[in-house]
Structure 1
Amino acid sequence: MQQTIANHISYTGIGLHSGQPVTIELHPAPEDTGIVFCRTDLSNAPCVAAGAAQVTDTMRATTLEDGTAKVFTVEHLLAALRVFGIDNCRVDISSPEPPVADGSAIVFWQLLERAGSREQKKRRLVRRVAKEYIVRDADKFIAILPYDGLRISFTSVNPHPFLGVQYFDCIITPESFVAEIAQARTIGFLHEIEALQAQGLALGGSLENAVVYDQNGSVNEPRFTDELVRHKVLDVIGDLALAGIVRGHVIAVKSSHALNTALAKQLLDIEQEEE
């Protein structure tokens, strides 16, 4: 059956890229609502659905837009909602970007644990992959194959000598998500900070919410030796949640928000069926 959260819950922090203070409030929502973001700082609190058709930008994060309602860097929260099993939720947000928290999804997961879940009266709808779908860009790709569940196999290739090639394969369950994926933080590089901030990005980034590297290695302590690829898997979960609940085996090499969301748009063609 579909599920929503059992209780209202809120969290305040700053946005990773905007650096702006923001409060999110998660509310229960009726069946078939999906996940919607409502900008409470704007007149009439316009809302945008968390759907692949609403993606308008993928530079460094995933942006959703519908009229005056615009939100970005939503992938970590969406990943937590997806794996927690929340089908319907209204997210009131007081700024364009959710809080970065610690740069991972574990804070959002802990919020959901506090809020709890409530079963609803309609059956859950899923998109069950019956053939291969693939998106390519030069030497980068993301594909999804038939599989009874959600599995992600990701290869990350980074020129930094302390990162290099990383591979991670995981069947996504609540247990594996919490232990192996949700705690993986955003990766940043000292040499990129000035350029990013000149573009209005990473204004809220710090050693408290990112694993930062310089030419000598990590400036602060990673949580995993392969934290980069685990965070890439986290992003895939959040981006593919824009196609609803998908059953399949994702295989990706050097994929990005652009490729992830392009695949999510392809998956909208799959007819939803009752779980």
Structure 2
Amino acid sequence: MELFQHTITKAITLSGEGVISGKEILLELCPAPPNHGIVFERADLPSPISIPVGPETAHAIDGASLVALGKYRIIYVEHLLSALNGLSIDNILIKVYGDEIPLFDGSAKAFVEAIISVGRQPQWALRRYVRLEEEIIVREGEKSIVISPADTLAIDYEIDFAHPVIGHQKFSFELSQEKYVSQVCMARTFAFLEDLAVLREKGLLRGGSLENALVLDDKQVLNPDGLHFPDEFVRHKTLDLLGDLYLFGAPILAKIKATRASHKLHLRAVKALGESLYAWRWYPSPGRAPLKPAAVSLPAFAA
């Protein structure tokens, strides 16, 4: 666990294609002061709108998570939030010149590489964790998420798709920066060709290609480079869960067992956590006296 809060050392600029709009989307990731939290900003508007991350602004649709304030939203936030969770970034302002986050290659790799390239800045403020004291369970038919007390964030994810390339997969993961970089951040999102065709016909998908996701027909993966991991699909679901959990607005200490879950069920778990004040507490307590923060290097990214 990190004792102190962290931001990034300097601003980062990224750009990529929005898969919904088909337009080039500019992102600016900016350092932020202690206790600022993670805040998205619709910087493309005449009067920019700030959307702080928390259960109240968190939402999910089929295949994506988003933050929204009033009529303004930013979709596909999960991969960027996953990178921030995986690298323990607490305070950051994310300026988005559009209403979606580019998918890049469909993983969190682009965000991880960018953050590692500038490094993290420790801050003179305690990092506060949500620590589970009682179990929370959300279910939807055969889908479920069980959140139990633990001293770290540990995830057991299980998926089952009736597809010859995916099938039944399990992945267990205990969060650390090194493990996130080497085992999770490169796992790409996946989609089925027939579903993409329907979205395009409806005009809901103007961008996107084999560069943005793993695409499967009824028999195989269509991407020429194949899979990064034999179980890349369940690793990506773990990546998504790490991002969706960060929509709570603080790091969580718990053991989480997710079975056949989705963004919508992830968000139901986040909101259930927010509503179950009896089931968790802040750790450490605000009165704990800290030592002076020291700079900590990030793990090297191996392509």
TM-score category (smaller protein): over 0.9
Partner of 1:53: 56
Cα 1:19/1:219, change in 2 over 3 Å: same
Cα distance in 1 for partners of 2:157, 2:203 equals: 29
Shift of 1:75: 0.4
TM-score by length of 1: 0.96
Structure 1 counterpart of 2:35, from 4, 7, 32? 32
Partner of 2:299: none
- Which sections of structure 2, spanning at least 5 residues, go unmatched? 286-303
Shift of 1:8: 0.6
Aligned to 2:126, the other structure's residue is in SS state coil
Q: Aligned Cα RMSD in Å? A: 1.4
Aligned pairs for 1:58-97 (under 5 A) are 58-97=61-100
Shift of 1:200: 4.6
Structure 2 counterpart of 1:186, from 184, 189, 207? 189
Partner of 1:230: 235
Greater Cα shift, 49-58 or 79-88: 49-58
Cα 1:155/1:205, change in 2 over 3 Å: same
The answer (yes or no) to whether the contact 1:155–1:229 under 8 Å persists in 2 is: yes
Structure 2 counterpart of 1:271, from 273, 281, 300? 281
Partner of 1:239: 244
Aligned to 2:129, the other structure's residue is in SS state strand
Cα distance in 2 for partners of 1:16, 1:251 equals: 30
Partner of 1:125: 128
Cα 1:74/1:224, change in 2 over 3 Å: same
Cα distance in 2 for partners of 1:29, 1:67 equals: 24
Cα distance in 2 for partners of 1:106, 1:250 equals: 23
Cα distance in 2 for partners of 1:272, 1:48 equals: 23
Aligned length: 275
Greater Cα shift, 235-244 or 12-21: 12-21
Would you say 1:104 and 2:128 are equivalent positions? no
Cα distance in 2 for partners of 1:272, 1:198 equals: 48
CA offsets, 1:1-37, max 9 Å, x none? 1111111111010123332210110111111111111
Partner of 2:260: 254
Identity fraction in percent: 36
The answer (yes or no) to whether the contact 1:72–1:96 under 8 Å persists in 2 is: yes
**Amino acid in the other structure paired with 2:245:** L
Would you say 1:155 and 2:158 are equivalent positions? yes
Cα distance in 2 for partners of 1:48, 1:198 equals: 32
Aligned to 1:36, the other structure's residue is in SS state strand
Shift of 1:74: 0.2
**Amino acid in the other structure paired with 1:255:** A
Cα distance in 1 for partners of 2:235, 2:203 equals: 26
**Amino acid in the other structure paired with 1:252:** A
The answer (yes or no) to whether the contact 1:127–1:247 under 8 Å persists in 2 is: yes
CA offsets, 1:113-169, max 9 Å, x none? 122111111111110011111110000001111111111101111111221111111
Aligned to 1:4, the other structure's residue is in SS state strand
TM-score by length of 2: 0.87
Cα distance in 2 for partners of 1:210, 1:60 equals: 12
Aligned to 2:80, the other structure's residue is in SS state helix
The answer (yes or no) to whether the contact 1:2–1:87 under 8 Å persists in 2 is: yes
